[in-house]
A and B are shown apart, each in its own frame.
Chain A
């Protein structure tokens, strides 16, 4: 099993979820995160004082998938979330040692 983690523009999450559905992905974890990469932050002005805000809001999407589904999932995420501008995000894949479904105790692929 693999863990696919994607850092995306927040508004891309809905499209990504829809694109993964046909690939048999029936669950994901989404969190609000902040970070920076090549995309700069933005400037905010309060009473004439300018502040450079370095961290940009992003969404982190985590999906557990079968080993042979990982490539297709990554491809779908990249194609769906891409705008071509700096700040589209990153996707990475890690091996997962074991997974257990809490409700039933089922281990491995059955738990996905």
Chain B
């Protein structure tokens, strides 16, 4: 039983900001989803942490936790405004009216909300956090912590916020063009993936890669992280409906089915190629399917969603070979899983988008008889997001590398980032390893 509450007429609302009529059911749902999205960043931390060697595990987790802190500050100060304020020009970036979250409780320009705008602010806030944390999988085991902090702070403002404006703000040029990106196939997945590629090209490979074996040190941790991500992804995608109703239900089901399809697609291909279905493959495949459905969750019927997952699982496994062929050390396969998975999903919207699922679909997908119109718009979104995220991040990384330096010394890399960056060791598994003196 929705209760409509009138928010007092906003004095300072921008002309384009529609009034908000709060629905308590919608609000409760999106608040829950907001918490689920927050859970994804620690989930991602564990997913990645299990895949690195034991001497780098704390540093890996720390980078995700640091993203929660850093991006929370940059988002509140300026990121949200650049993403969701009235357009500052050309649909490229938002203005500065909402800096410091001034006037943010009044409404969101161009979006008809039935939830308090501050819930929207926090929900989107945690998207920005997660997207930054995704980068850490590519740059694992070789970045100075202080440099990472600076990189993420600047990146979240100059790369993430504009891309979020393009696709998520009704003023954004991709949104106006008609790109359909339900929960961030371009904004989150491709933006992080293309940026990750730029970062590893500037950083260079881990010492010893690809000659030395750098196998995961704790796969149970990775599987735990994948499980947390899967749960959180329901909130990420179904919460993007911003209402608690049929669209959220449809997005939740599509999300889950694509995760299932991803696991099946990855494992089937992996078993065919190497003879074994692995636990890391199960975790990676599920994530690949969840990545691919992110832009599509609110536009696809259930069976196409399952198919998107299967395709993404198989394609992403193949994409991992690219780093060996082209010799870039994308350590934990952010490019292969998030970038490639994001491209697959974003394009699949152009194949399967259905008006019956979401009236926002004005051109049905190619396979539903809608022609190539929507597919073309999706392709523009893919190309523009890839080019901007890659180029902007490359320039940023080059500047930081030439000024403050991004890499740790060889000694610190060999010793491991846990001791060299954080003065800690993750595992004390023998009684002799803790013998020492305190300097209290």
- Where the two chains meet, the residues of A that have a C-beta atom closer than 8 Å to any C-beta of B are 44-53
Contact = CB atoms under 8 A, between A and B. Distances in A.
Name the residue among B215, B273, B317 with the largest chain A CB count within 10 angstroms: B215
A51 B284 CA distance: 18
User: What is the predominant secondary structure among interface residues of chain A facing chain B?
Assistant: strand
B320 interface: yes
11 contacts: A45-B278, A46-B215, A47-B281, A47-B284, A47-B317, A47-B320, A48-B274, A48-B320, A49-B320, A51-B215, A52-B213
Nearest to B275: A45
A50 B274 CA distance: 8
A107 B127 CA distance: 70
B213 A45 contact: no
Contacts of B367: none
A52 B278 CA distance: 16
Interface residues on B, range: 10 to 19
A47 B280 contact: yes
A44 B320 CA distance: 16
B131 to A, nearest CB: 22
User: What is the predominant secondary structure among interface residues of chain B facing chain A?
Assistant: helix
B216 interface: yes
A48 B321 contact: yes
Interface string B348-359: 000000000000
A47 B288 CA distance: 12
Please name the 8 residue pairs, one residue from A and one from B, whose CB atoms are nearest each other, closest first: A51-B213, A45-B274, A47-B320, A46-B215, A48-B320, A46-B280, A51-B215, A48-B317
Contacts of A49: 320, 324
Contacts of A48: 270, 273-274, 317, 320-321
Contacts of B215: 44, 46, 51
A50 B284 CA distance: 16
Nearest to A32: B430
Contact of B278 (A46, A51, A53): A46
A3 to B, nearest CB: 21
B276 to A, nearest CB: 6
A46 B215 CA distance: 7
Interface in B271-300: 273-274, 276, 278, 280-281, 284
A45 B280 CA distance: 9
B181 interface: no
A65 B284 CA distance: 53
A50 B270 CA distance: 12
Name the residue among A46, A47, A52 with the largest chain B CB count within 10 angstroms: A47
A69 B273 CA distance: 54
A44 B399 CA distance: 39
B141 interface: no
A53 B320 contact: no
Interface in B317-335: 317, 320-321, 324, 333
Nearest to B278: A45
A53 B213 contact: yes
Nearest to A47: B320
Contacts of B270: 45, 48
B164 to A, nearest CB: 30
B325 to A, nearest CB: 12
Contacts of B284: 47
B270 to A, nearest CB: 6
Nearest to B284: A47
Contacts of A50: 274
Contacts of B274: 45, 48, 50
B216 A46 contact: yes
Contacts of A52: 213
A58 to B, nearest CB: 18
Contacts of A45: 270, 274, 276, 278
A45 B279 CA distance: 10
Contacts of B273: 48
A48 B281 CA distance: 9
A45 B333 CA distance: 15
